[in-house]
Amino acid sequence: MKTADLYIRVSTDEQADKGYSQRNQEEVLRRYCEINNIKVRKAVYEDYSAKTFLRPSWCKLLIELQKNKGQSDLILFTKWDRFSRNAGDAYQMINILRKAGVEPQAVEQPLDLSVPENKMMLAIYLAAPEVENDRRALNVFHGMRRAKKEGRWMGTAPIGYANKISENGKKFIAPKEPEATLMKWVFEQLASGVFATEQILKQVRLKGLECSKNNLWVAIRNPVYCGNIYIPKFKDEDSCFVKGQHEPLISEALFYEVQDVLDGKKKQQRTKLAVDNNLPLRGFLICPKCGKLLTGSASKGKYQRYYYYHCSSSCGSRYRADNLNGEFVKELKKYVPRPSMVELYKLVILDSYNAQTKAQRADKTEIITRINEWNSKLAKARELLLSGDIDGGDYKIIKTECENKVNILEGKLSTASNIQENIDSILGKAVNTLSRLDTLYENANSMRKRQIISSIFPEKLIFDGFNYRTPRLNEAVRLIFNMDKAFEGNKNGTNDYKNHLSHQVTPQGLEPWTY
Q: Please check the confidence at residue 466 and state whether its pLDDT lies above 60.
A: yes
- pLDDT attached to residue 422: 60
* Residue bearing the bigger pLDDT, 272 or 342: 342
CA 168 to chain centre: 31
Q: Does domain 180-262 have CATH number 3.90.1750.20?
A: yes
Position 487 scores a pLDDT of 52
pLDDT score recorded for residue 481: 65
Q: Is 79 exposed, middle or buried (0-12, 13-18, 19+ CB in 10 A)?
A: middle
42-101 pLDDT, tens digit each: 898 888 887 888 888 889 988 988 888 888 889 999 888 888 888 788 888 888 888 888
Residue 515 is predicted with a pLDDT of 46
* pLDDT category of residue 497 using cuts at 50, 70 and 90: very low
Beta carbons of 279 and 187 less than 8 angstroms apart: no
C-alpha closest to that of 344 among 423, 425, 427? 427
pLDDT digits (tens, 9 = 90+) for 236-265: 788 888 888 888 898 888 888 888 888 776
Instruction: Report pLDDT for 199.
Output: 82
Question: In this structure, are residues 32 and 68 in contact, taking their beta carbons and an 8 Å threshold?
Answer: no
Q: Which CATH superfamily is domain 3-135 in?
A: Resolvase, N-terminal catalytic domain (3.40.50.1390)
Q: Evaluate if residue 511 carries a pLDDT over 50.
A: no
The pLDDT assigned to 506 comes to: 46
Instruction: Please determine, for residue 514, whether its predicted confidence score (pLDDT) is greater than 60.
Output: no
Give me the residues paired with residue 242 across strands: 229
Asked if residue 476 has pLDDT above 60, the reply is yes
> What average pLDDT score do residues 344-352 get?
74
Per-residue pLDDT, 268:
58
Residue 235's pLDDT is: 81
Average pLDDT over residues 436-461: 81
Give phi and psi for 174, each to the nearest 5: -140, 150
* Neighbour order of strands in the sheet with 74-77: 39-47, 3-10, 74-77, 103-106
Quick one: pLDDT at residue 108? 86
> Is 227 in contact with 246 (CB distance < 8 Å)?
yes
